Structure 1
Amino acid sequence: MKPSTLLTFTFAFLVFTPWQVLAYTSSAQPNILVIISDDAGYSDFSFSGEANFNTPNIDSISQKGVHFPQGYVSASVCSPSRAGLMTGRNQQRFGYFDNLPRKVPEIYSPEYAGLPASEITLAEALQQQGYQTAAIGKWHLGYGEKFHPNVQGFDYFYGIESGSRSYWPNKKGLGPAQENMTTVKDEGYFTDTLTDKAINYLNKQGEQPFFMYLSYTAPHTPLHAKPEHLAMFADIQDKKRRALAAMTYSLDQNIGRVLKNLNDKGIDKNTLIFFLNDNGGTESNSAGNRPLTGYKGTVLEGGLRVPYAVSWPAQIKAGQVVNMPASSLDIFATAVAAAGGELAKDREYDGINLLPVMTGKSAAVERTLFWKRHGYAAVRQGDFKLIRLSDRPALLFNVNEDAGEHINLAEKHPDKVKAMLKALWQWERKHQHAKWQTKKNFNNEYIEKLDRAFKQVSQ
């Protein structure tokens, strides 16, 4: 090709090729979007379970990227799970064992009831890489200015500090909505409102990359669904289950609105998206966890394994299913690496960068994951998971082959039980003491519910 011809071709390519294509092939920092649902069941999204509900928009994230069927969170209840995600560190390292107390008892200092300022949040890490940052939805990492998203690395916040509230305006809830640090008037159905705020934020973005933490409250209780959506699921006899279906439909539709906005702007290909739930499905909203046993609050798979999908069309091949354990703790390391940053050297991180696996540059990684809540703890090493109980011998399962934890292998592998108990003890030595404990820790009815779940797999 003659130099003049090459120059003409290059000029025509730059003028007539949509900038979206250039963005797809460039090494520009990706936008980063973390979408998290609340208290949903493992099998209540059609990409992750038994297709109980049809969720085409959420499914599209896995279809355009990677589905991790063995996705985990770092805790089986909302607040500590979010603390792990936001820091990339097992939250027990900084004494964050349980949900926040709604009112801090006098024996605890209020300064302890939230995510410590000494922790580096994902928002703070990405700000260092030049990102604009936004948190929209449920925060649940501390109340008051000391723990507010605006002082934890987020330039913009719209949502609630508490763990749940009414989906309808002007109804009694656990906390009013805020825009940054100002209380604002409720606007419409809460799932819709959060999406409106997210899209409004996206519409104001320029060329600077953004990180958005889009934390929906759906389908956490209260079970408030739109009447027109309830009518769509009239064939479901269980009233709670019907409301859950309607709320999940609304959640999927709203996530679809966000994804369409990214596509309309031509920035979808260079946006790294994570979708997951904050913990296992709960009995209180009739969530479905099949084929897993257990539910929110336990260290059984039904409390810890969650729907987990990642997409980044510019870098990640579509349609992958990676059958290795992935953790919510990995979001921090993966996002920072994608942004071109490095993890802080002054602390240990428990998550890993998933990009080498998702881009095919590395094989699946064998790893160790830990969990602890109340008198129960668990460790997964490779395919095996050990559960240490407070009042009976430890349980051992091959959760790659037996996700429902039905076959106790402890007597068959006593050496493995001993080694994994030792690993668990060594992990616990790194913990700080719990900064607070909620009344629910000592509620006999709650402990009995946990016991029943464990007896299902130990009989």
Structure 2
Amino acid sequence: MKTTRLFAAFLAAGTLSAHAERKPNILLIVADDLGYGELGTQGYTKDIPTPNIDSLAANGTRFSNGYVSGPYCSPTRAALLTGRYQQRFGHEFNPGPPAEANAAVGLDVNEKTIGDRLKAAGYATGWFGKSHLGTAPQFHPQKRGFDEFYGFLGGAHSYVNAGNGVNGIFHGTEPVSDPGYLTEAFAREAASFIEKKKDDPWFVYLPFNAVHAPLETLEKYDKKFTAIEDPKRRKFAALLAGLDDSVGTVLNKVRDLKLENDTLVYFISDNGGPTPSTTSGNGPLKGYKAQTSEGGIRVPFIVQWKGKVAAGKTDDRPVIQLDFLPTSLAAAGVPVDPAWKLDGVNLLPYLKDGNTAQPHEALYWRFGQQIAIRKGDWKLVKSAGDGGVAGAGTASTEGAHLYNLAKDIGEKNDLAAQEPEKVKELAAQWNTWNTSLVAPKWTPGGPRRAARLTTAKAEEKDDDNAPEPAASAAGPWKSGDSLTGAQSPDLTGKPFAITAELDGKDQPQGVIVAQGGNAQGYALHVKDGKLALSLRRGRELTSVVATEPLAAGAHKVEAVVAADGGATLKVDGKSVGQGKLAGLLARKPGEGLTVGNDGEAAVGEYTAPHAYNGKVANVTVSAR
């Protein structure tokens, strides 16, 4: 009997020791386009309950000055997965529509991901959701350190249609024909993976596409928000409620398996809200997605690790998504090699060991011609939200604005003239950082052209694979052609005309030609089966839509904009619609011209790239 008791005690001690030495599970949840002002725990809006996401803050620490290193999708994700500023390896912009992506456009294969690092440390690794880091085989998540993948490879995606081709839904490399409502599908698959791997340390990367447009929702969520009068806000509320429920699905699985105390959980958004597009709000912050103003780069940022990280705490020290990788490695007991040149820092000493210092001396941004540096309470910034130039181009600190964020969270009071020495100090520090970066490997206006330039040298001896000539800046253009912002027509303050030839067997839909984005630009497209011209002027959107459907088949279409903003639409020489736009373009858009799609930032009320489903040819755009 005594021997039996001693043996039982030995087994119990061994079990406790093994449990104590267990590496923590890691759950990294990313929302898409969720603004800083949303979520109940953020304290700015009350119309959309988010109890599951809020529970993370109640049981963990919320950083009120949490940032991402890029103001929109793909660059943020590239930095998140590598722990390095994305500009160090040329991933400064989104890689372009899936149909345009090729071997040169995606997360640099020389960069190791958090999946690579944790898999090498014995973790089971799963990726459930959006990629947006390249569609060629070498960029597939299962080639980037992940054992299992369920999701899509492109940028935007429908919530209710599986899609097809390169941007379909895949389980591994096999297409999925009926995933169900996509937000719920990603949560379901993540929970299933956790169940299967419950006895091993696991890492789950869960990048939802919610709450990114399109605003496609389920009736069960729509019914909850009938009191919201704004129809767009009502749909957004349903989308966010679906996201919160799906976060709950995964958190409940962790709880049911009694793994909460063994699981480090992060929650973040990939960038600020695109408020004019979806109503996703940024609270008191200035600006939106795709801007280096606070509204584009400051995001909800929560860390939970029950029993290790303080519960219900708000920390106001600036941190950034680059920190997740080194923090995870520290939690897993993986030493960091200085040769990896990580830019993130391990947050555990600040979260659980009482370190009161600042995790970062400074944080930096470069996004084309937009720049920013935050050091302490001071921020030097040149943003499209301050009237700066969006899109690709040479970045500089000249003309940057200075704000004290502790006193002016909304960036309303420019102190550059009053604090010239502070401007000089921050500009010098940003310039030093900038010298350590490389040029973008592709730009918003021309992913195909950038890819061709990258691969041309390797292909120049193979006539069959020789790169196509770049599109002429003078036109005419055809499907797939694109120009940089600098190459594109300058229609500032000018009446203009667009002509194009269409050839398609199906009912036409999609963008025929576009230039610009959601701040300034135009798009000739098909809306609800009818030819339409949309124009953005200082983010204000106005459209003229034809009065009759555009039939399938070949057509010549025209749009003419007069000096007073009056617009006329023609199909095969016949006038099919007239109306009044808000005016002419107030400035030249930074985003370039694209034919057959709308690149990355949508001009109209559709989800970019919104590719045309037929062929477009002989496109001209000319000032009148």
The answer on 1:294 being equivalent to 2:300 is no
**What amino acid is the match of 1:374?**
G
Q: For residue 330 of structure 1, what is the aligned residue in structure 2?
A: 323
For residue 340 of structure 2, what is the aligned residue in structure 1?
Answer: 347
- Pairing 1:372–2:366 present: yes
Greater shift, 187-196 or 31-40, is seen at 187-196
Please name the residue that 1:57 is paired with.
52
Q: Provide the rounded CA distance (Å) in 2 between the counterparts of 1:205 and 1:236.
A: 42
Q: How does 1:2-401 map to 2 (within 5 A)?
A: 11=9, 14=12, 26-52=20-46, 53-102=48-97, 110-169=102-161, 175-282=167-274, 283-365=276-358, 366-388=360-382, 393-401=399-407
CA spacing shift, 1:276–1:24, aligned 2, 3 Å: farther
Counterpart AA for 1:213: Y
Q: Which has the higher strand share?
A: 2
Q: C-alpha deviations, 1:173-222, integer Å up to 9, x for none?
A: 98210011111212211111111111111111142200000111111011
8 A contact 2:75–2:86 mirrored in 1: yes
Query: 2:132 is paired with a residue of what secondary structure?
Result: coil
C-alpha distance in structure 2 between counterparts of 1:235 and 1:12, whole Å: 62
Structure number with higher relative contact order (C-alpha < 8 Å, ≥ 6 residues apart): 1
Deviations 1:206-258 (A, max 9, x none): 42200000111111011001122112111111111111101111111111111
Whether contact under 8 Å (2:123, 2:202) holds in the other structure is yes
Q: CA deviation at 1:49?
A: 3.5
Structure 2 stretches lacking a partner, 5+ long:
390-397, 447-483, 486-514, 522-535, 540-624
Q: Which sits farther off after the overlay, 180-189 or 243-252? A: 180-189
Deviates more, 1:84-93 or 1:235-244: 235-244
Structure 1: where are the runs of 5+ without partners?
454-459
Asked whether the equivalents of residues 104 and 113 of structure 1 are also in contact (C-alpha less than 8 Å), the reply is no
Matches of 2:277 and 2:313 in 1, distance apart? 33
Bigger mean CA offset, 424-433 vs 343-352: 343-352
2: CA distance between counterparts of 1:167 and 1:158?
14
Query: How much identity, in percent, do the aligned residues show?
Result: 36
Mapped to 2, the partners of 1:59 and 1:13 lie a distance apart of 40
Show CA shifts across 1:43-79 (max 9, x none).
1111124133211110111111100011100100100
Other structure's SS at 1:26 match? helix
Q: Which residue of 1 aligns with 2:414?
A: 408
Distance of aligned partners of 1:50 and 1:427 in 2 relative to their CA distance in 1, 3 Å threshold: same
**TM-score when scaled to structure 2?**
0.67
Question: Which residue does 2:432 correspond to in 1?
Answer: 426
Task: Write the deviation string for residues 102-131 of structure 1: whole angstroms up to 9, x where unpaired.
Answer: 1576xxx93320001110100001112111
What secondary structure sits across from 1:329 in the alignment?
helix
Matched-pair contact (CA < 8 Å) for 2:153–2:166:
no
Richer in helix (by share) = 1
Q: Is the Cα–Cα contact under 8 Å of residues 162 and 179 in structure 2 kept in the other structure?
A: no
Secondary structure (helix, strand or coil) at the match of 1:111 reads coil
Q: Are the counterparts in 2 of residues 225 and 246 from structure 1 also a CA contact under 8 Å?
A: yes
Aligned counterparts of 1:56 and 1:220: Cα–Cα separation in 2: 20
CA pair 191-24 structure 1, distance change in 2 beyond 3 A: farther
Does the CA-based 8 Å contact 1:176-1:186 persist in structure 2? no
Secondary structure of the corresponding residue to residue 327 of structure 2: helix
1:457 aligned residue: none
- Tell me the alpha carbon deviations over residues 241-281 of structure 1, each in whole angstroms, 9 at most, x when there is no partner: 11110111111111111111101101111100000100000
